[in-house]
Amino acid sequence: MFRNVAFSIVFHVALVVAAYVGLPSFNDFEDVQDVPISVEIVTVSDDTNLPTKPKEPEPPKEEVKAEPKPTPKPPAPPPAPKGSVEAPPEPEPLPEPEEEKVAVIVNPDPKPKKEAKPKPKPEPKEEPKKVEAKKRAPTPIPPRKPKPPDQFASVLKTLEELKTAPREETPKEQKKAEPKRDFASMMENALESDKSRMDIGPELTISEKDLVRRQIQRCWNLPAGAKNAHEMIISIRMAMNPDGTVQQARILDDARMSTDPFYRTMAESALRAALNPRCQPFKLPPEKYQRWKDMKLTFDPREMLGL
Amino acid sequence: MTHMNFARFVAVFALCFAALGTPRAHALLEIDITRGVAEPMPIAVTNFYGGGRGEQDFGAKISGVIAADLERSGLFSPIDKKAFIQDAESLNVLPRFGDWRIINSQALVQGNVEMTVDGRLAVTFRLWDVLAEQQMVGARYFTVPSNWRRVAHIISDSIYKRITGEDGYFDTRIVYIAESGPKTKRVKRLAIMDQDGENHRFLTDGFDMVLTPRFSPTLQEITYLSYYKGVPRVYIFNIDSGRQEVLGDFPGMTFAPRFSPDGKSVIFSMSKAGNSEVYIMDLATRDVRQLTDHSAIDTSPSMSPEGDRVVFNSDRSGTQQLYVMDADGSNVKRISFQKGRYATPVWSPRGDLIAFTRIHNGQFFIGVMRPDGSGERLLTQGFLVEAPTWSPNGRVLMYFRQDRTDAYGRGGKTRVYSIDITGHNEREVITPLDASDPAWSPLIP
């Protein structure tokens, strides 16, 4: 019996090691796949709306994301690992976390946001009011989303929408700010969160990430009319200088660059957004440099194309 | 027991991940960018360098045409040359990218012109990615000096293709119906010009009325409808040779011709005894096949770029709507379901969209939808907007727009416009006379 178990463990470990070491792009791929789980996004944006920039906002965030519905307890690092094992893959729990969160922090109607701004937030970031009810994730945002469509400026124009508002990039748009936690990193966090915290300091807050996101979005000039533009998701890996400028950036998934000219176009537009000096230096907290000296941007045009 | 084992298993599992994951997953900041802008790309088009006076002139003219082409596409905004820091001569050696980044240029077009000993022009160009500091494309062309304009268009196409990922459409022509004279006695002539309005000329004398010109997708040939001696018939006109021939003598009236995507057939409608059906004729064998057979009016056929399907227009449901069928006439499906009537469907050469005219509440619209009828978008509207035609890359539509006439029959200006399929960048195509029924050529071979 024990032998069997031992064998089993050895083989599993071997398998995991092989998969981990042998498939270098595994991580990236997984990220891309996970993107459609847009629910977390909503949660995040709520947070962002809160002007507060608390010292340690993120631990709770992770938790909320990690655990499904059963445990609404926000601050509990320990449960995370267990929950994580089953939670991340399933997209279902979306609405719930949202609700909890709403109940706790954000009120359903837009105005409260303003008043909810008791603690002065240092940077005058424009307020990211509305969360968009994208087609992609229509369910999660039931109550507080009265103003739907023109908000997101689709780059594709159609006359009906024209009447209201053509295109323009409005600020709101929050997407998942939270880097996605895969199994490995959850384990890592659980097992040695203390150590890593020590090493590289506190994580970036969601507001801080949002700020950068918005900076880059201003510089992403995407080829809106390209064929199948909605099927292309581009990842860019960047090495950052401590002053917030980009030292180096490259497109991940080079293979498709040479075979698909439309993909190359989309990828190059993303690279230009990352490199454009107009949008740099990124407004990142210098004291957390260790946290952002290595960045990965995922460019997803689907929302822009109204899909 | 099992619990224990499981727990142990998980622990080992976790440890192994932790050990492996630590070095890699350390503090990678991930951010999703889901929003961007769609605005013209700032591009610096410099005067092509020339050693001598004449070469410099050509260099400036070529660069002017390229900048105009790119600007007209709506996807680029050429930067004012006055802002340039680096001069053409040093640029001819190597770009100083910092100089171009400062003026917010993302791409840089540079080149030179030489006169060869046999009196031809040698035009070299390079496109640079200013931010990535790399050459994106470069080429050299030889031509007779009088052909400089075409070289400029070809270079524009090359730049467009490299940056957008799709073929350009600048080295193309437009054929259209030039209209003049009073409404009651309108003279309609077939006319042709370059895509930018240059090199305009008339192809017919205006003695017989002509309508619905259509370019062959493969050759410099036009099919159109002419009322020669009062009988409407489909003709084919070869631009290079100037030869004109009737498509065939049919018992009924033929109209709404279009080439198949391979250029080897013409699909059209023919009306017999008050009922019109869709036919296709093989140009080599002159074999004619009937594709539709319905008591309703079936007309305005247009084939998909693969040639396997046909979109057409029928009133079999009671009002004019769009239908798609297989190329053999089977499997007919209605695809238009919004309010109003639909007409003049045209399948995009890219295959992803069908352009159409929609008439609703007395207004005309030009719109696009996917071949399955989904994703309908209306791009423009007017008192009368009609006859969409695709650029060969399927990215731009041209159509004509007619203003309302006043009570005395004045006004009614008719002009050709182009619009991007995103719905932006609508502009008039300048023509010397009133213009209708535009048709876009393929890239000139």
pLDDT tens-digit series, residues B26-55: 678 888 988 888 888 999 999 999 888 889
One DSSP character per residue, A81-105 reads HHHHHHTTT--TTSHHHHHHHHHHT
CA distance A270 to A235: 8
Token code pair at residue B218 = 């493969």
CA distance B226 to B257: 11
Q: What is the pLDDT of residue B93?
A: 84
- What SS3 class is residue A137? coil
Question: For an interface test with B, which of A84, A131, A158, A291 has the most B Cβ atoms less than 10 Å from its Cβ?
Answer: A158
ipTM: 0.72
pLDDT tens-digit series, residues B115-132: 988 889 999 999 999 988
Q: One digit per residue, pLDDT tens: chain A, 307 residues?
A: 678 888 888 888 888 777 766 655 444 443 433 333 333 332 233 334 333 333 443 444 344 343 444 444 444 444 434 433 333 333 333 333 333 333 333 333 433 333 434 444 444 444 444 433 333 333 343 444 333 444 344 667 777 544 443 333 333 334 334 444 455 555 555 554 444 445 667 778 888 888 889 989 888 888 877 777 777 889 999 999 989 889 889 898 778 888 888 888 889 889 988 888 888 888 888 888 888 889 999 998 887 776 5
- Report, as an integer, the average pLDDT of B224-251: 82
> What residue segments make up the domains of chain A, in order of their start?
2-305
Q: What is the pLDDT of residue A186?
A: 56
Provide, as residue numbers in chain A, all residues whose Cβ is less than 8 Å from the Cβ of B30.
Answer: 31, 179-180, 295-298
A9 near B CB under 8 A: yes
Element (H, E) at A248: strand A246-251
Which position has the higher pLDDT, B310 or B210?
B310
Mark which residues 309-328 of B lie under 8 Å from A by CB. Answer: none
The residue with tokens 């957008």 is: B164
CA distance A282 to A290: 15
The one-letter amino acid at B92: N
Q: What is the pLDDT of residue B342?
A: 95
A239 near B CB under 8 A: no
Distance to chain B for A221, nearest Cα, Å: 5
- What SS3 class is residue A271? helix
Q: What is the 3-state secondary structure (H, E, C) of chain B?
A: CHHHHHHHHHHHHHHHHHHHHHHHCCCEEEEEECCCECCCEEEEECCCEECCHHHHHHHHHHHHHHHHHHHHHCCEEECCHHHCCCCHHHHCCCCCHHHHHHCCCCEEEEEEEEECCCCCEEEEEEEEECCCCEEEEEEEEEECHHHHHHHHHHHHHHHHHHHHCCCCCCCCEEEEEEEECCHHHCEEEEEEEECCCCCCEECCCCCCCEEEEEECCCCCEEEEEEEECCEEEEEEEECCCCCEEECCCCCCEEEEEEECCCCCEEEEEEEECCEEEEEEEECCCCCEEECCCCCCCEEEEEECCCCCEEEEEECCCCCCEEEEEECCCCCCEECCCCCCEEEEEEECCCCCCEEEEEEECCEEEEEEECCCCCCCEEEEEECEEEEEEECCCCCEEEEEEECCECCCCCECCEEEEEEECCCCCCEEECCCCEEEEEEECCCCC
Whether B3 has a pLDDT exceeding 80, the answer reads no
Mark which residues 118-177 of B lie under 8 Å from A by CB. Answer: 129, 131-132, 161, 163-166
Cβ atoms within 10 Å, residue A107: 13
Please return the burial class of B284, using the count of CB atoms within 10 Å of its CB with bins 0-12, 13-18 and 19+.
exposed
> Quick check: B423 and A160 CB within 8 A?
no
Mark which residues 264-303 of A lie under 8 Å from B by CB. Answer: 264-266, 268-273, 275-278, 290-303
Q: For chain B, list the domains and their CATH numbers.
A: 41-164 (3.40.50.10070), 173-440 (2.120.10.30)
Single out the residue of A159, A280, A270, A161 nearest to residue A215, CA to CA.
A280
Rounded to two decimals, the pTM is 0.69
